[in-house]
Amino acid sequence: MRTSATAEKPGISRRNVLLAGAAAGGLSACGMRAGREFLSTDTHPRGYPTVAAVEEMGRLLEQRTDGRLGIKIYAGGQLGSEQDTLEITVFGGLDLNRVNLAPLNSIEPLTTLPALPFLFRSNEHMRRALDSDIGEEILASLEPHGLIGLCFYDSGDRNFYNTRRPIRTPADMRGLKIRVPNSDLYVSMIRALGADATPMSIAEVYQALVQGVIDGAENNWPSYESGRHFEAARYYSLTRHVIAPEVLVMSKSRWDKLDEADRALVRAAAKESVPYMRGLWDQRVADARTRLLASGIEVNEIEDTAAFAEAMRPVWDRYIMTDQARRIVDAIVAAGEAEG
Ligand code: GTR
């Protein structure tokens, strides 16, 4: 289990080269890469909105090509962490990958911007900003890294949960060991609140909570529920500090082998899966919230979210380093102000 406070830098480890080989070779040996069935992976299990959205995209592709194109999904993190499967995707061992923005942060700096703390005012604000040219610009920034950004999906708001106490003010965070995704941006956010950041894959969080390796983590209602983290960490505090999206990427090596017509089909099916996902997402958040409240967890609203925003604000300066980044952040903020 990784417990260092700095997120692991990208790089192609020997282990991941082996994993990539196993994924590409092993899956093709089983005949699963026959035809044009794209292989996709997701850390979430079947039934989770991100998985259902990619299934919908596959259904659209099959329908529009009489079964010539389709998608096979390895759900539930069975092929490894998001960081590992991203490397496999870059190598071409996987065709599609649905990840959070966090594991892309160390690959492409522009992906940190939508994950800046207290940037989006609401889910609506995020949807509107990323449906515009800004979203396309961030997706396109992945191409030099061997990935084609196809679309963003919802991830709702991330809140802190822990085994010790309700978080009401930034001072309540002091000294807590908080798991974060493998991203320096998240490490910086936690440190800005005076807590200790522990990057690790989401698959390890439940055990780490139970064993007391960490005191808490942060995530949206559906992930807090589906990872069963609520069983170990009963205090869920609605800081809503990040409203960053999920993203669906395709391996550029696979993309380069598609002709123009198939690329257009893939792009269109991905875009059309977005409104479908949004409907499922809103329902899933409401259902997860209802079930979690009924399970007896202790939930608290934050009276003064500005205190958290202020404490985390220095993180913005650290990650807005270029004119392009400043322009994107300004445009996102303006889209929120237009919302009123
Ligand atoms: C979830 C997200 C996952 C994963 C996870 C995490 O909200 O859907 O893709 O990134 O958070 O915290 O690792």
The 10s digit of each residue's pLDDT in 241-254 is 999 999 999 999 99
**Comparing 4-107+142-154+245-286 with 158-243+295-339, is the CATH topology the same?**
yes
Give mean pLDDT, residues 178-186.
97
Task: Tell me the per-residue pLDDT of 47-78, one tens digit each, with 9 for 90 and over.
Answer: 999 999 999 999 999 999 999 999 999 999 99
Q: What is the residue extent of each domain of the chain?
A: 4-107+142-154+245-286, 158-243+295-339
Shortest-distance atom of ligand 1 to CA 103: 10
Place of tokens 């309540």: 172
Shortest-distance atom of ligand 1 to CA 220: 7
Task: Tell me the per-residue pLDDT of 312-332, one tens digit each, with 9 for 90 and over.
Answer: 999 999 999 999 999 999 999
189 close to 312: Cβ distance less than 8 angstroms: yes
- Examine the pLDDT at 111 and tell me if it is beyond 90: yes
Q: How far apart are CA 88 and CA 95, in angstroms?
A: 9
Considering the domain 4-107+142-154+245-286 in this protein, what is its CATH number? 3.40.190.170
Q: How far apart are CA 340 and CA 157, in angstroms?
A: 19
Q: Is the CB of 82 under 6 A from ligand 1?
A: yes
Place of tokens 């798991």: 179
Place of tokens 């490490």: 187
Give the Å distance between the CA of 245 and the centre of ligand 1: 10
Hey, whose CA ends up nearest to atom 9 of ligand 1?
A: 100
Q: In the prediction, which pLDDT does 11 show?
A: 41
Hey, whose CA ends up nearest to atom 4 of ligand 1?
A: 100
Give mean pLDDT, residues 277-281.
98
pTM: predicted TM-score of the whole model, two decimal places:
0.92
Q: Is the CB of 220 under 6 A from ligand 1?
A: yes
HSE, side-chain direction, 13 A CA sphere, residue 48: 27
Task: Tell me the per-residue pLDDT of 285-306, one tens digit each, with 9 for 90 and over.
Answer: 999 999 999 999 999 999 999 9
Q: How confident is the model at residue 23 (pLDDT cuts 50, 70, 90)?
A: low
- Examine the pLDDT at 164 and tell me if it is beyond 50: yes
Give the Å distance between the CA of 302 and the centre of ligand 1: 23
Give the Å distance between the CA of 65 and the centre of ligand 1: 32
Closest CA to 193 of 234, 160, 146: 160
Q: Is the CB of 155 under 6 A from ligand 1?
A: yes
Q: Is the CB of 223 under 6 A from ligand 1?
A: yes
Q: In the prediction, which pLDDT does 314 show?
A: 96
| Candidate of 81, 187, 246, 280 to mutate for ligand 1, largest count of ligand atoms within 8 Å of Cβ | 246
Considering the domain 158-243+295-339 in this protein, what is its CATH number? 3.40.190.170
Shortest-distance atom of ligand 1 to CA 181: 13
Q: Is the CB of 43 under 6 A from ligand 1?
A: yes
- Examine the pLDDT at 21 and tell me if it is beyond 60: no
Closest CA to 250 of 69, 11, 26: 69
Q: In the prediction, which pLDDT does 19 show?
A: 53
Closest CA to 266 of 70, 88, 11: 70
